[in-house]
Amino acid sequence: MGMLDHAWLGVLAVFQGPAAFSLFSLPISFTLLLVFAGFVLGIVVGATPGLAGPMAMAISLPVLISIFGYSSDALLPVMGFLIGVMKGATIGGAVPAILFNTPGTPDAFMTTLDGHPMARAGKAGKALRVAHFSSVTGDTFSDIVLVLCAPFLALLVEAYLDLPEKTALLILSLSFIAAVVGGSPGKGLISTGLGLLAVYVGSGEDFYPRLSMGTETLSRGFSVTTAVLGVLILGAVFEGMQETFHDHRRQPGATTHALTGDQVLRFADIRRLLPYIGQSAVIGTLIGALPGIGSTLAATLGYTLGRTRHQKHQPAGAPGFGDGVPEGVAATEAANSAVSGANLIPVLSLGIPGNAAAVFLILAADSIGGFTPGPSVFRVPSEGINPELVVAFGLFTAMFLANALNWTLGGLFMRSMGVMTRAPKHILLPIVLLLTLTAIYVQEPRMEAILFALAFGFLGYFMRKAGISPLPFVIAFILGGTLEQTARQAFAATGGDPFFLFASPIAAFFMLAAVAVIVFTARKPVT
Amino acid sequence: MRTGLKAAIAALGLFAMTTAASASEWTPPGPVKLMIAFAAGGGADTQARLIAEELEARTGWSFIPEEATGKGGLTMLASLKDQPADGTVIGMAVTEALGYNMRSADMGLTPSDFTGLTTTAGFQMGIVARADKGWTTFSDAVAAAKSDGALRFGVMSPKLDDIAYLLGRAQGIDLNIVSLKGGKEVLDAIVAGDVDLGFVAGIQSKGVAAGDLVNLASGLSAPLAQTPEAPTLADLGVTPFNADGYFVFVAPAGVPQDARDALARAIAEIVNDETTKAGGLVKKAFGGATTIMGAELDALMAADYESAAALMEAASQ
């Protein structure tokens, strides 16, 4: 069976999987239903300031696993839901940014610059339509690139990278993430180091538990759920609570602006916007394919390059970026949405997550089992089928399904989400806190898990306060085990060569690049 | 007075009936926690969960499967040891965890801390390589190592690590022994070319049948069911050690005899029945169930623990 047969099986697995119910005697599979449910939840969460897609993914994952169990049938419905959330949240974030000048997600900040002036000028409807169209176009483009590139890259890795090179590649990824996420490479390295320290407690190959300080409690180590949900979600909740406490006296009432004039997105508009969307989609996809660089940078770059282009093509005196031009909204939204598909290229082909959403997809695959993101996913056996490849194509199908929902229903849902801005944070945050703790306990029913998660939550809070991004921590925690194993295996396989990381040109190049990326980003920019 | 007597007799009769019933038909006093020492989604984890599912369907008892992975099964065993010994907590591991791993960890655990319930299946441990390497027998691999230098040999546990070392020594070849997590990873590494050959415990059967893989040797004391002509470890000069091993269900020490019997019997019935999902899986991957229980299992566990010391001694020389 070739690659295409697997692709077809993947499509069938999504549509003909276990049926949830029948609609006009047409069986609707659980996967379809869950992609849709995730998509709706994603839009709602994205449109709510203070909540974000990863939060919804984190909380729903253990709940979904407890419903669908650990069989391989559970993979597509559960991951389909997460993909739905991821896709929905990308378009939802623009809503409060445009309507109320409050970005729903951090990367929607640039959308406020032109989106909100448009809303003030009575063009809120049009701004939302522009945001929707650009966002979905960027996303779809990115997904196509993912489907074309991931298998190719995976096969390349399989063919050329041996154990020492794989080890060096992991080190390069960690150093790259440390260097580019957050303010400074120093803070990134602290975050990465803390993540590695945490994952190495209680783990390792020896039967004697490592770094447990002689206690039974630490000897089992920290589970991924407690560490990731603690640092990423609880940390954000604690920070949000503190901000709410500070802000609640001076919260301005949200004002709405009446709509005036034409709100429809005309074909002429689309033609005018397409160059901006295209340019940003390419930027977003390129940035997304590199692990660790988030959609915020993509949005900033897309916006800046869009502005340059706009200045070149507009007559002097015409309204520019920042005055409420649709091009500004289009350039931002296309760029930040194009990140999400390409972000899965390193996940699926190398097993290296690049952002928080990808972390939860890896977590889902890890907890359910039967699907290990990495090069082996794309191996085509000479006889029989590779079930992991079928799952991979099932995931691609789920992504395109979510895109189809985005194209058809997304705009409609999105325009009705303005009300979410009024969701009171002081009620939302405790709910998220409770749900997260419940989710952790469901996954790991012992009291220590809750205590660990709270401790990681405080760690995440203080890291945020010190301006240290928690993302390198989380990615280091996820990759730490793999890094150690691969390094041990490479060392053993080379017959105990202590310089195995420098013995081959490719590995040596990766190691050099790992150092270079830190050195170059640490240098102060010349001003 | 008379009514009182009648009532007393009736109560006595009822009491006698219930005790009689409980003597023949043990049922767990609550839901049974099943601690699984294997990573979620792997073959062993699936086997454990399918057995639990079928047990629920057949007996009406309820099971709560829980992952307790790490340290070659010792994480699970260490936490199982302190659980109530009334049949409400059981665990699934491999016999190697109670033998070599327990001995080598030296953390105060011995097989006598546990009650063996039953094994479910024996490994079909083969030394496997990719067919396109051109090796058809183990001696081809030995020849390749002698002409081209060290071979990479994948193993999935410290015991197999020692055995592979002894094998290399007996054959006079250099083996770079690479530890991987579980049989699936060893198989993946063989297919990807990260290692040249390695120990795989049964999941190679499909690839061998398809002609993609070859069983170069048996890691067992007996020949492999699928490739009976392949030499055993003893034929290759590794004596008296072998990689014989089984999946085993255990409970904490001191579980009442009726609970031990009832649980062991119920599990064995399921894996021996090839029409159940669990039985079908065992048949497919391991060629059928092997259910060792009672005194025979006690002897097996004790012997594994004892022989582990000899293996460590031999490999440290």
- Closest Cβ–Cβ partner in A162, A207, A381 for B71: A207
Write down the mean pLDDT value for chain B: 88
Contact criterion met (CB < 8 Å) for A495 and B188: no
How far is the alpha carbon of B179 from chain A, nearest alpha carbon, in Å?
A: 6
Domain stops at, among B149, B183, B218 = B218
Check residue B22 and give its pLDDT. 43
CB-CB neighbors (< 8 A) of A69 in chain B: 49
Residues B148 and B66 reside in one and the same domain: no
Write down the mean pLDDT value for chain A: 86
Check residue B69 and give its pLDDT. 84
CATH number for the domain harbouring residue B294: 3.40.190.150
B-contacting residues in A 221-240 (Cβ below 8 Å): 221
Residues B50 and B116 reside in one and the same domain: yes
CB-CB neighbors (< 8 A) of B49 in chain A: 69-71
Count of Cβ atoms closer than 10 Å to residue A366 Cβ: 17
Q: Is B5 an 8 Å CB contact of chain A?
A: no
Contact criterion met (CB < 8 Å) for B41 and A203: no
Pairing status of strand B63-67 against strand B89-94:
unpaired
What SS3 class is residue A8? helix
Instruction: Show the domain range for B197.
Output: 126-218
CB-CB neighbors (< 8 A) of A211 in chain B: none
Contact criterion met (CB < 8 Å) for A70 and B71: no
Pick the residue of A207, A223, A382, A500 with the most B CBs within 10 A to test the interface with B by mutation: A207
Q: Is A495 an 8 Å CB contact of chain B?
A: yes
Q: Could you tell me the CA-to-CA distances from A276 to A97, A134, A135, A230, A267 in Å, in that order?
A: 20, 9, 12, 39, 15
The answer to whether residue B158 is domain-embedded is yes
Pick the residue of B45, B51, B75, B284 with the most A CBs within 10 A to test the interface with A by mutation: B75
The answer to whether residue B240 is domain-embedded is no
Q: What is the DSSP string of A284-312?
A: HHHHHHSTT--HHHHHHHHHHHHHHHHHH
Percentage of chain B modeled with pLDDT above 90: 65
Kind plus residue range of the DSSP H or E element containing A259: none
The answer to whether residue B150 is domain-embedded is yes
For residue A419, what pLDDT band results from cuts at 50, 70 and 90?
confident
Q: Is the ipTM of this complex over 0.90?
A: no
CB-CB neighbors (< 8 A) of B192 in chain A: 158, 375-376, 379
Pick the residue of B45, B47, B63, B67 with the most A CBs within 10 A to test the interface with A by mutation: B67
Contact criterion met (CB < 8 Å) for A368 and B45: no
Contact criterion met (CB < 8 Å) for A488 and B107: no
Q: Is B71 an 8 Å CB contact of chain A?
A: yes
Nearest CA in chain B to A158: B192
Pick the residue of A489, A497, A500, A504 with the most B CBs within 10 A to test the interface with B by mutation: A489
- Closest Cβ–Cβ partner in B101, B176, B188 for A492: B176
A-contacting residues in B 208-247 (Cβ below 8 Å): 210-212
Pick the residue of B107, B152, B165 with the most A CBs within 10 A to test the interface with A by mutation: B152
CATH number for the domain harbouring residue B152: 3.40.190.10
- Closest Cβ–Cβ partner in A162, A367, A495 for B194: A162
A59-63, A70-74, B248-252: which is most confident: B248-252
pLDDT in tens, B23-46: 457 899 999 999 999 877 677 888
A194: amino acid identity, one letter: L
Check residue B20 and give its pLDDT. 42
Residues B105 and B149 reside in one and the same domain: no
Residues B141 and B117 reside in one and the same domain: no
Cis peptide preceding A96, ω within 30 of 0 = no
Q: Cα–Cα distance between B101 and B69 in angstroms, integer?
A: 14
Residues B152 and B133 reside in one and the same domain: yes
Q: Is A272 an 8 Å CB contact of chain B?
A: no
Q: Is B73 an 8 Å CB contact of chain A?
A: no
Check residue A491 and give its pLDDT. 95
Across A133-147, A206-220, A392-406, A443-457, least confident range: A206-220
Q: Cα–Cα distance between A424 and A412 in angstroms, integer?
A: 24
Q: Cα–Cα distance between A518 and A175 in angstroms, integer?
A: 7
Q: Is A220 an 8 Å CB contact of chain B?
A: yes
Check residue B227 and give its pLDDT. 93
Q: Could you tell me the CA-to-CA distances from A183 to A135, A180, A397, A468, A525 in Å, in that order?
A: 27, 8, 36, 7, 13
The answer to whether residue B238 is domain-embedded is no
Residues B98 and B134 reside in one and the same domain: no
CB-CB neighbors (< 8 A) of A493 in chain B: 152, 176, 178, 194-195
Nearest CA in chain A to B79: A216
Q: Is A209 an 8 Å CB contact of chain B?
A: yes
Pairing status of strand B151-155 against strand B197-200:
parallel
Locate B119 and state its tokens: 């094994």
pLDDT surpassing 60 at residue B14: no
Q: Is B195 an 8 Å CB contact of chain A?
A: yes
Across A134-138, B118-122, B140-144, B207-211, least confident range: B207-211
Percentage of chain A modeled with pLDDT above 90: 37
Residues B98 and B143 reside in one and the same domain: no
Nearest CA in chain A to B208: A383
Contact criterion met (CB < 8 Å) for B39 and A370: no
CB-CB neighbors (< 8 A) of A482 in chain B: none
Q: Could you tell me the CA-to-CA distances from B296 to B63, B100, B250, B269, B302 in Å, in that order?
A: 27, 19, 14, 17, 10
Residues B296 and B261 reside in one and the same domain: yes
pLDDT surpassing 80 at residue A323: yes
Pick the residue of B46, B178, B212, B312 with the most A CBs within 10 A to test the interface with A by mutation: B178
Pairing status of strand B114-122 against strand B89-94:
unpaired
Domain stops at, among B183, B218, B253 = B218
For residue A493, what pLDDT band results from cuts at 50, 70 and 90?
very high
Residues B197 and B273 reside in one and the same domain: no
Domain stops at, among B218, B253, B276 = B218
For residue A202, what pLDDT band results from cuts at 50, 70 and 90?
confident
pLDDT in tens, A181-192: 767 889 999 999
The answer to whether residue B261 is domain-embedded is yes
Percentage of chain A modeled with pLDDT above 70: 96
- Closest Cβ–Cβ partner in A70, A72, A376 for B192: A376
Question: What's the rounded mean pLDDT across residues A232-255?
Answer: 77
Across A253-267, A321-335, A390-404, least confident range: A253-267
Count of Cβ atoms closer than 10 Å to residue B6 Cβ: 10
The answer to whether residue B15 is domain-embedded is no
Residues B106 and B165 reside in one and the same domain: no
Is 0.90 topped by the overall pTM?
Answer: no
Q: Is A494 an 8 Å CB contact of chain B?
A: yes
pLDDT surpassing 50 at residue A348: yes
- Closest Cβ–Cβ partner in B70, B105, B210 for A384: B210
pLDDT surpassing 70 at residue B5: no
Residues B63 and B99 reside in one and the same domain: yes
For residue A208, what pLDDT band results from cuts at 50, 70 and 90?
confident
Check residue B21 and give its pLDDT. 43
Contact criterion met (CB < 8 Å) for B107 and A207: yes
pLDDT in tens, B62-121: 998 888 888 889 989 999 999 999 999 999 999 999 999 999 888 889 999 999 999 999
Check residue A318 and give its pLDDT. 81
Contact criterion met (CB < 8 Å) for B150 and A495: yes
Using the 8-state DSSP alphabet, how is residue B25 labeled? S
Q: For chain B, how many structural domains are there in total?
A: 2
Q: Is A322 an 8 Å CB contact of chain B?
A: no
Q: Is B23 an 8 Å CB contact of chain A?
A: no
Q: Cα–Cα distance between B47 and B37 in angstroms, integer?
A: 12
Nearest CA in chain A to B78: A216
B127: amino acid identity, one letter: I
How far is the alpha carbon of A483 from chain B, nearest alpha carbon, in Å?
A: 13
Residues B134 and B209 reside in one and the same domain: yes
State the sign of the Cα–Cα–Cα–Cα dihedral A310, A313, A314, A316: positive
Q: Is A205 an 8 Å CB contact of chain B?
A: yes
Q: How many inter-chain contacts (A to B, CB under 8 Å) are there?
A: 81
Check residue A104 and give its pLDDT. 66
pLDDT surpassing 60 at residue A32: yes
Q: What is the DSSP string of A42-68?
A: HHHHHHSTT--HHHHHHHHHHHHHHHH
The answer to whether residue B234 is domain-embedded is no
B-contacting residues in A 87-146 (Cβ below 8 Å): none
Contact B201, B138 (CB under 8 A): no
Nearest CA in chain B to A490: B178
The answer to whether residue B9 is domain-embedded is no
Contact criterion met (CB < 8 Å) for B41 and A370: yes
- Closest Cβ–Cβ partner in A158, A369, A493 for B40: A369
What SS3 class is residue A254? coil
